[in-house]
Amino acid sequence: MSTDNTVANTFNHPSTKTINDSIYELGSSPYPAIALGSSLLFRGITYKPQLKASANTNVYKQVALAMSRPTKKTCFTFGAVNLLGAWLIYDGDEVNGAEFNAVWSSIYLLINGKSSITSLIRGRHVSPLVLSSLALFNTTIYGHYIISSWRGLNNNSRFYD
């Protein structure tokens, strides 16, 4: 009579996968970059400024119109760049793709981070804050992947192969 020990071993030895390993695996995936890139492209396609400048518009409204971010140009540029980084990761170059996405997501945050918070405070839109949150998530995930690869914290690091 043979017994199946696989079920017993599953309960005695649970998975040793840590949060660090899960974040590392997510950093080698193109899906966060695809989410940010496609969201930025969608925002660029559906972008309509709320204020219309005319000859009678006061200075404060003109400044608010000039400071409304992200603009179409910004959305298309950063969306295309993030999708390019996702393609790098998909093509097998995880380390360079992660570096590319981390740097460009942090640049997006430098350009649009403050204006996304002020647009939420002024009650204009929620979407700039969502896009900045996605950029912060990408910066964190891909930055963790880069640092883990450099330091060799994961055994499956491809940086030292």
Does 157 fall in a domain?
A: no
Q: What is the tally of structural domains in the chain?
A: 1
Does 126 fall in a domain?
A: yes
pLDDT tens digits along 100-158: 999 999 999 998 888 888 877 777 677 888 888 899 999 999 998 888 887 665 555 45
Does 54 fall in a domain?
A: yes
Nearest in space to 68 (alpha carbons), one of 114, 107, 113, 115? 115
pLDDT tens digits along 93-107: 888 899 999 999 999
pLDDT tens digits along 70-96: 888 888 999 999 999 999 999 988 888
Does 2 fall in a domain?
A: no
pLDDT tens digits along 12-36: 555 677 777 777 778 888 999 999 9
